[in-house]
Chains A and B, each alone.
Chain A
Amino acid sequence: MLFNSGEFAVFLIVVLLLDMILRNRLQPRYAFLLAASYFFYSCWNANYLLLLIFSTVLDFTLGRLIHLEQRKSLRKLYLLLSLSGNLGVLGVFKYGNFFIDNITETLPFLGDIPRLEVLLPVGISFYTFQTLSYTIDIYRRKLEPHDSFLGFALFVSFFPQLVAGPIVRASQFLPQLGKMPVITSADASHGFFLIARGLFKKVIIADYLAIHIVDQVFSAPGAYGSPTILIAVYAYAFQIYGDFSGYSDIAIGCGRLLGFKLPKNFDSPYVATDLRDFWRRWHISLSSWLRDYLYIPLGGSKRGQRATYINLTLTMLLGGLWHGAGWTFILWGLFHGVILAVTRMAQRAGAGSCARDPSKTGRVLRALANFQVVCLGWILFRSPDFETFVSMLAGLGGANGWALDVEPFVIVVLLVAAATHMMPNRFNHNLALLWNKLPAPAMAAALIVLIGVCSFICAAARPFIYFQF
């Protein structure tokens, strides 16, 4: 079920209504939410629900064993079992065919290795990292194992954040269980606000830009002039932001309506003045996970400059691989890792000079410059193969001429996306306050109008798909 679908709306309404009835009874409520989450997941593919349950049972069991065991060697063994179990499943289902294809290509004398007949389980990258945070935190003695399997299973599979994040830490979610949920009217209003905002970003911005320019240009970059390609790249930057942060908003909003506070996942990333700042604002739950469970265990910045740069690059490379099984994702991660390392080098060298320019103009210019760097990375991220990436760069350089072939409304949507993104936080805050003050009828009317506009955009945004069928 997609968040921007009618069936999800029906599902959410049913869950909210039944949740209200069960609100006073914690265990039945969690059982219901767990059942709803499993139902939500099984709407995609019921068979792969078993993988989710496997991860849940594995880490719940190993979490308890790690906590009860005093001997370091055994604790390490249990942690390794958790890591290998979870990452093994992730490796097979997400990366298995990628490795097979590459081995077949580079070592042809091995012959044709049969590909795995598997689909990529939806959300596996997210829930794997979530369950790993549980066992690792227990190992580090930062967390105690949760008493109830039901509660832990709900943490792993909670439907708002199951398929596309944010990646919630056990330490953030589990303490919210076991307490009677306290949800004020402001919480409910804010939940609807986040859902409305998420729909706006996902459907009106992201889907529209995807269909009207991004997909077209990236599928045939050789057919477009340099200005068109540039606009497509900027459009993709806002498409991926709108898509991802829109989903996160809807997830957090749904969580709010159910009485759970999920962490913020995006904080206007394109106003970042450098890549370090960008990664503090983009997919915050992932970047903080990578920092705490990969970068810091590798040594972080504590083992000298050279090790710091290597750790940064390696962390970002693996972060790129997390996004998808493809060389373009790996290269994208490597690109960010190298730029981060270079940024760090430059900041160390330039400390005390103009590295931190307090002037507003300076910040704006640096943000614009950083945006160009991020967009360069996005070209690599979006390109289905390296040839498309090269073709896009060549096109940007004028290889296909300088024709501008963009629908005017695309520019309008792009400007709206940029303007809303660059708005200062107080604007968003004031908008949220204004929304919260709306009475229920006005709030409902606004939501219905938004849904109507989204549906219109969905319908009108679909091109005539004639020749695909």
Chain B
Amino acid sequence: MTISADRRDSRTNQVNKTLWVLFWGVVFLALSSWIATQTGLAWWQPVTCDQSLKIHAYRAAPSGYNVVVMGSSRAELGVNPLVVEKELSRQAEGSLTCFNLSQSAGQIRTDHVIFREVLRGQSTPDVVVLCTEARGFNSMSRRTSEYVKHYAQPWDILVEIRDIAAAGCLSDAASSFIRSISCVVQYLTQSPRTQKSKNHVLFWELSKGHGDPFRMNEGDQSKPAPTPGSRRWKAKFEKRKSFVRDNLLNDFEIGRASRRAFEKIIEISRERKIELVVVNMPLTTDYMSLFEPGEYSQYMSYITKTCDREKIPFFDYNAYEQHLPDSLFYDPDHLGPKGSILFSRRIARDALKPIFRNAQ
């Protein structure tokens, strides 16, 4: 009797201790996330410090932006918001503002999470230019799935649970509290309060999210960009070739998660009355040679059919007639400064002006 009483007691103790630790863990998680939200920090994703500060810079703008560009580092370098604004202001009445919210290593699934979590409320733009590429849709990609795990997946699950729980709440306060539960204490440490963080935020505010390859890749600051076809270009390309094939374009397949993410973006843009424009990013001939037969056409077929079905304007800047010469590229898949100016003007002229002209 003593033994079974002891066992029962120890089992109760263990159950109690584990339960209590889990309970208090959830409480502290909620409390720290509430503090993080109240202090207005860039709270929502365990992204690289630099990228989360860009989101902070975007959200800190008092009146939001008319146009937001989304995509990966290709869009981050390729679309210069200041050039877009200047081009738009030539015809539009008043000035229109643009911010490049592209995330390095971003892909369609991270675009979806940003779309859902950042472009809301006061931060809702009029137009989103979604810059897509085949790599961003590859569900089997080894390396980008790591970054999806960092950007979106853990919080995707929590956010889904949160949304279900919040939807079941009877009051807004309870719903709001539950939404805060999804934040974590790490965002406290991503506070733009250190000088380095403030410098990052200032950079993003001034450049409106436009990346600078010479700043970001500091090692190359002393050297000019390699010329396409040169020895340096070829050496750089050779180094990246196996990485791209083995980690980014491996086992190319547009899986369910990628499709769902894209469809959700379209759905959310309709709910929030955001005009969505899809743009296929330009690539060099070298990079295009990395695709195996059928891969690129799989992506193009999917994106064109979906945009056609959903009646979303689609601009293919990798098509032959739109192709930008390789000399405008910084590396096989990122536009250089001159290429960025030219490309930004094209987007403003082809994709954005008709929208704002119709709106007037």
Interface of A toward B, CB cutoff 8 Å: 2, 5-7, 9-10, 13, 16-17, 20, 23, 180-185, 187-189, 192, 257, 440-441, 443-445, 447-449, 451-453, 455-456, 458-460, 462-469
> Is the Cβ of A5 less than 8 Å from the Cβ of B154?
yes
> Is the Cβ of B18 less than 8 Å from the Cβ of A444?
no
- Interface members, chain B 33-60 (any A CB < 8 Å): 46-50, 52
Residue of B21, B28, B190, B217 contacting most chain A CB atoms (<10 Å): B21
Query: How long is the Cα–Cα vector from A192 to B18 in the complex, in angstroms?
Result: 9
Q: Give the interface size bracket for B toward A.
A: 35 or more
22 contacts between A and B (CB under 8 A): A2-B149, A5-B154, A9-B154, A10-B158, A23-B11, A185-B10, A187-B14, A440-B24, A444-B24, A451-B184, A451-B185, A452-B188, A455-B185, A459-B46, A459-B49, A464-B50, A465-B48, A466-B211, A468-B243, A469-B106, A469-B135, A469-B144
Q: Is the interface of B mostly helix, strand, loop or mixed?
A: helix
> Is the Cβ of B158 less than 8 Å from the Cβ of A6?
yes
Query: How long is the Cα–Cα vector from A185 to B135 in the complex, in angstroms?
Result: 50
Query: How long is the Cα–Cα vector from A459 to B185 in the complex, in angstroms?
Result: 13
> Is the Cβ of A6 less than 8 Å from the Cβ of B186?
no
> Is the Cβ of A458 less than 8 Å from the Cβ of B150?
yes
Q: Give the shortest distance, in Å, between B139 (CB) and chain A (any CB).
A: 13
B288 in contact (CB, < 8 A): no
> Is the Cβ of A444 less than 8 Å from the Cβ of B21?
yes
Q: Give the shortest distance, in Å, between B5 (CB) and chain A (any CB).
A: 13
> Is the Cβ of B243 less than 8 Å from the Cβ of A16?
no
> Is the Cβ of B13 less than 8 Å from the Cβ of A184?
yes
> Is the Cβ of B185 less than 8 Å from the Cβ of A449?
yes
> Is the Cβ of A20 less than 8 Å from the Cβ of B15?
yes
Neighbour of B186 across the interface among A184, A452, A466, CB < 8 A = A452
> Is the Cβ of A448 less than 8 Å from the Cβ of B217?
no
- Please judge, given known A-B contacts A182-B7, A448-B28, A469-B73, whether A456 and B189 are in contact too, CB under 8 Å: yes
Neighbour of A6 across the interface among B47, B73, B155, CB < 8 A = B155
Query: How long is the Cα–Cα vector from A180 to B15 in the complex, in angstroms?
Result: 14
Neighbour of A188 across the interface among B18, B29, B147, B150, CB < 8 A = B18
> Is the Cβ of B150 less than 8 Å from the Cβ of A462?
yes
Q: Residue of B at shortest CB range from A181?
A: B11
B1 in contact (CB, < 8 A): no
- Interface members, chain B 225-250 (any A CB < 8 Å): 243, 248
Contacts of A462 in B (CB 8 A): 48, 150
> Is the Cβ of B104 less than 8 Å from the Cβ of A184?
no
B153 in contact (CB, < 8 A): yes
Query: How long is the Cα–Cα vector from A453 to B334 in the complex, in angstroms?
Result: 34
Contacts of A184 in B (CB 8 A): 10, 13-14
Query: How long is the Cα–Cα vector from A463 to B150 in the complex, in angstroms?
Result: 13
Query: How long is the Cα–Cα vector from A333 to B216 in the complex, in angstroms?
Result: 41
Chain B 119-163: CB-based contact to A (< 8 A → 1; otherwise 0): 000000000000000010000000110010110011101100000
Q: Give the shortest distance, in Å, between B297 (CB) and chain A (any CB).
A: 21
- Interface members, chain B 253-279 (any A CB < 8 Å): none
Contacts of B49 in A (CB 8 A): 459-460
Contacts of A444 in B (CB 8 A): 20-25, 27-28
Query: How long is the Cα–Cα vector from A9 to B24 in the complex, in angstroms?
Result: 15
* A-B interface, 8 closest residue pairs, ranked by CB to CB distance from nearest: A6-B154, A444-B24, A440-B20, A452-B185, A455-B186, A185-B13, A183-B14, A456-B189
Q: Give the shortest distance, in Å, between A124 (CB) and chain B (any CB).
A: 18
Contacts of B144 in A (CB 8 A): 469
Neighbour of B21 across the interface among A17, A182, A440, A452, CB < 8 A = A440
B164 in contact (CB, < 8 A): no
Q: Give the shortest distance, in Å, between B195 (CB) and chain A (any CB).
A: 15
Q: Residue of A at shortest CB range from B186?
A: A455
Query: How long is the Cα–Cα vector from A444 to B27 in the complex, in angstroms?
Result: 9
Residue of A13, A462, A469 contacting most chain B CB atoms (<10 Å): A469
B176 in contact (CB, < 8 A): no
Q: Give the shortest distance, in Å, between A11 (CB) and chain B (any CB).
A: 9
B324 in contact (CB, < 8 A): no
Q: Residue of B at shortest CB range from A223?
A: B219
Query: How long is the Cα–Cα vector from A257 to B338 in the complex, in angstroms?
Result: 59
> Is the Cβ of B73 less than 8 Å from the Cβ of A466?
yes
Residue of A443, A452, A453 contacting most chain B CB atoms (<10 Å): A452
> Is the Cβ of A469 less than 8 Å from the Cβ of B72?
yes
B307 in contact (CB, < 8 A): no
Query: How long is the Cα–Cα vector from A17 to B25 in the complex, in angstroms?
Result: 14
- Please judge, given known A-B contacts A459-B186, A466-B216, A467-B331, whether A183 and B10 are in contact too, CB under 8 Å: yes
Q: Give the shortest distance, in Å, between B329 (CB) and chain A (any CB).
A: 13
Contacts of B284 in A (CB 8 A): none
> Is the Cβ of A459 less than 8 Å from the Cβ of B211?
no
Contacts of B180 in A (CB 8 A): none
Query: How long is the Cα–Cα vector from A6 to B150 in the complex, in angstroms?
Result: 9
Contacts of A440 in B (CB 8 A): 17, 20-21, 23-24
Neighbour of A452 across the interface among B15, B18, B184, CB < 8 A = B184
